[in-house]
Amino acid sequence: MSFIDRWTTNTLRPVNRMKIAVIGQSLFGQEVYKALQKDGHQVVGVFTIPDKDGKADPLAKEAEKDGVPVFKFPRWRLKGQAIPEVVEKYRSVGAELNVLPFCSQFIPMEVIDSPKHGSIIYHPSILPRHRGASAINWTLIHGDKVGGFTVFWADDGLDTGAILLQRECEVYPDDTVNTLYNRFLFPEGVKSMVEAVKLIDGGTAPRIPQPTEGATYDPIQKKETAKINWDQPVEGIHNWIRGNDKIPGAWAEFDGQKLTFFGSTLLDNGFVAEGEPLELLGASRPGIITKRGLVLFGNDEKMVLVKNIQFEDGRMIPAAQFFKAADSDTLQLSDDERKISEEIRAAWKRILTSVEMIEDSTDFFKAGAASMDVVRLVEEVKLKCGGLQLQNEDVYMATKFEEFIQMLVRRIRGEDEEELVVDYVERTVNNMTIRMPHQLFINGQFQDAEGGRTYESINPSDGMPICKVSLAQIEDVDKAVAAAKDAFEQGEWGKMNARDRGRLIYKLADLMEEHQEELATIESMDSGAVYTLALKTHVGMSIQTFHYFAGWCDKIQGSTIPINQARPNRNLTFTRREPIGVCGIVIPWNYPLMMLAWKTAACLAAGNTVVLKPAQVTPLTALKFAELSVKAGFPKGVINILPGAGSLIGQRLSDHPDVRKIGFTGSTPIGKQIMKSCAVTNVKKVSLELGGKSPLIIFRDCDLDKALRMGMSAVFFNKGENCIAAGRLFVEDTIHDEFVQKVVEEVKKMKIGDPLDRSTDHGPQNHKAHLNKLLEYCQTGVKEGATLVCGGKQVPRPGFFFEPTVFTNVEDHMFIAKEESFGPVMIISRFSNGDIDGVLKRANDTEFGLASGVFTRDINKALYVCEKLQAGTVFINTYNKTDVACPFGGFKQSGFGKDLGEEALNEYLKTKAVTIEY
């Protein structure tokens, strides 16, 4: 609270109908006028500027609509003296108070002092810090951390009068005059002008003399004085550019002409400026035209990014396009494009009513357009051009009609979109030609890893390489995180409304559906998944997941909360659900695309950006997904994919200070390491889906045929490489032997072979190391005394095939009874008839708690067992029944946090509580 704010907390008496003269102009003056009328005051006259190009000022239009007398004096003084007839007309309205909300004219003291209560004026500065007409500009140029405005009593010193009230706001590092004005100075200024009138009417308005300490009269900013001084730190250059944005514009010399810079942003030290040099007169080193814009350097070698450049002829372009000569080429329009041009010309005419004819050279703003006209033109284009969405900024960058049409046609043709360059690896397989990206995906582009490092992705069906894949390094993680951070904080994604975000995610899901056969083929080649299963589950459920979470985007809501009131005032408390920021996602190799979808869809729906590390052995569907995200229209930096080693890339994501959340699926030991790293770096939010040893209890009163069928699926689904696979079956004594016999019969019927063969039941294990682990696992089981009924060996054929395996007589103390195989190994233990509590104790005697299952016809028994099982998911008379709408996650050392369902959104959101007193 500033030293004046205390005055506004007094209890005010009821408002009288004070007679007020409003002297000013613009939308700000209009809003103050409307607020005063609404507050019960009588505006007896409005004094504003003459019409411009046949268009009345907004304040004049509003007052004329209400029948309030409006005076449009070109001037109030002549040769320093008040014009008598102007003063006389003013006095004729009988004002008791002058309110000057935005006044660009010199008002003589004969008018200022005329009313009973004098005159109050709005000033965009915390007086006396900055005085003069460019006060708001100097707030930014000086790098002030606090800005605001003053309502003061007018005197003959223009802005040296006594202070009535002030309001302060924080000045953000990338604020411009426009952002400060729109966020605070305009809306809060309107309220405070009305508040000041209340104080005057209530007899409690202070008159606090302005202190002289710190008072400055900074010069008015003019084009000739706005040249950039290069001999200063980059923060000073940034402040100079943003303080002169949009008027008059900070400039520098290039090749004998002035280039004016707009839209500056300070860059992190980790940003790598790659592009073409731009030699600027007097700069200690050249600027660099990059894909993101123009990078400038201060004498401290730090960097600032400039978004737009304006030439001396008024033409403005994105800085990134400075050297693109093609942009200056004139397009030849087709017949359809000429029709669109004439429709847009008619739209310009409807907006620019004072212009007789819209010529190619007609300038939108010089012809009288204002900011609301920009919004209208954007909507006209959307209506006439099949939903094409321009940004307001696009209009400011093509102000002449011909330039606007050229820009519009380029957008319609898609020529302004940067082409995605993909170095595909092509394979003709599964009756189709598949095209696979194999490089890292960072900031919307495929690129080689630092140092050109690569590795081979192996096809588990034959042990042969599919292709070389870029192997990410630490430097690549830093680049990807920087891109994701920029996309979240500065890019289009962070500004996008939730519904548009949902449309993008839905479009991505549709593209995945269009490419589902190609995705399933890649998944089958890279992970060994049976093609039909890959099509239905690996890819099919991924598509469903993105469709599901696309629908959640505009339904993420906070709530209002009743709290104790602070009488005599009242309170409103509400919560906001906000995205976290940059999220690191690390996924396993058993369901490469589906695990990506389970986490990434919720993460994106919540509004975050992603740096994802696929498993090193299965990167290819993730990279294809990245390609589809570009086709869907995702902005650069929102999605980044880094194939590489978990010990290097996963660890760096866990350690990185700009990553605010880690979502991990994998082993429990690695999950613990990630959790530790997240704690000691920046206390990241973490969700972990870890190992499992899911018990499946089969009671003698079950439907045995169904229990057999579902029990087989519970173990052998996806070659046993399934996080919720039934790690141990408990079969009641009476039916044990029959169950085992039927299992062995069914196992012998399973066809092992090429996963692309539609008749194959059982494909290869994911990779060689995992195959060796399964062989060792089975050898341990035999050594400990379990009975190996069938399987336990590698299939004698090329590739990493392992026989479906069944163990019986497994005791609770054995290694295979406690540890997860993550393969096609069925572990069967018997339990005594009727011993429900005994088998529950054995089922829960594990540090894992991911999933569980029970088969019985007795609903009471089923619900009792469900209540007692210590697992995040319980299946009753079914198994593997997951759905995108149902939350999924474990207990104990199987991790915490949820994938899927509404609860998954909580993992990627933060809750902010807001309390307002009124």
Instruction: State residue 671 phi and psi, 5-degree precision.
Output: -60, -40
559: left (phi over 0), alpha (psi -120 to 50) or beta: beta
Nearest to 123 by CA among 106, 156, 100: 100
As a whole number of angstroms, the distance between CA 526 and CA 465 comes to: 10
DSSP-derived 3-state class of residue 44: strand
Of 31, 96, 117, 123, the active-site residue reads: 123
Q: What is the DSSP letter of 359?
A: -
DSSP-derived 3-state class of residue 495: helix
Terminal CA-CA length for the chain: 15
Asked if 426 and 434 count as a contact pair (C-beta separation under 8 A), the reply is: yes
**Has 736 been annotated as catalytic?**
no
Per the annotation, binding residues for (6R)-10-formyltetrahydrofolate are 105-107, 159
Asked if 155 and 131 count as a contact pair (C-beta separation under 8 A), the reply is: no
304: left (phi over 0), alpha (psi -120 to 50) or beta: beta
Asked if 672 and 642 count as a contact pair (C-beta separation under 8 A), the reply is: no
As a whole number of angstroms, the distance between CA 238 and CA 263 comes to: 9
Omega into 248 within 30° of 0, i.e. cis? yes
As a whole number of angstroms, the distance between CA 141 and CA 238 comes to: 8
Q: Which residue has the tokens 């299992």?
A: 743
497: left (phi over 0), alpha (psi -120 to 50) or beta: beta
Omega into 128 within 30° of 0, i.e. cis? yes
Q: What is the 3-state secondary structure (H, E, C) of 585-650?
A: EECCCCCHHHHHHHHHHHHHHCCCEEEEECCCCCCHHHHHHHHHHHHHCCCCCCEEECCCCHHHHH
Asked if 250 and 294 count as a contact pair (C-beta separation under 8 A), the reply is: no
* One-letter identity of residue 386: G
Per the annotation, binding residues are 105-107, 159, 587-589, 613-616, 646-651, 666-667, 773, 820-822
As a whole number of angstroms, the distance between CA 725 and CA 641 comes to: 28
* Beta-bridge mates of residue 784: none
Of 103, 702, 723, 778, the active-site residue reads: 723
**Has 866 been annotated as catalytic?**
no
As a whole number of angstroms, the distance between CA 311 and CA 316 comes to: 6
Q: Which stretches within 419-497 are classed as H helix?
A: 474-489, 492-495
Nearest to 678 by CA among 690, 687, 669, 691: 687
Asked if 254 and 279 count as a contact pair (C-beta separation under 8 A), the reply is: yes
Of 62, 96, 627, 689, the active-site residue reads: 689
Angle between helices 26-38 and 58-66 (to 10 degrees): 30
As a whole number of angstroms, the distance between CA 204 and CA 191 comes to: 17
Structure token digits, residue 906:
């909580």
Structure token digits, residue 624:
């294809």
Nearest to 450 by CA among 292, 648, 285, 597: 648
Asked if 803 and 750 count as a contact pair (C-beta separation under 8 A), the reply is: no
**Has 426 been annotated as catalytic?**
no
Instruction: State residue 75 phi and psi, 5-degree precision.
Output: -155, 160
As a whole number of angstroms, the distance between CA 100 and CA 341 comes to: 43
* One-letter identity of residue 821: S
Per the annotation, binding residues for NADP(+) are 587-589, 613-616, 646-651, 666-667, 773, 820-822
Nearest to 731 by CA among 693, 694, 697: 697
Instruction: State residue 70 phi and psi, 5-degree precision.
Output: -120, 130
What DSSP string describes 762-812?
A: B---S-HHHHHHHHHHHHHHHHTT-EEEE--SB-SSSS--B--EEEES--T
What kind and span of H or E run contains 698?
Answer: strand 694-698
Q: Which residues are marked as active site? A: 123, 689, 723
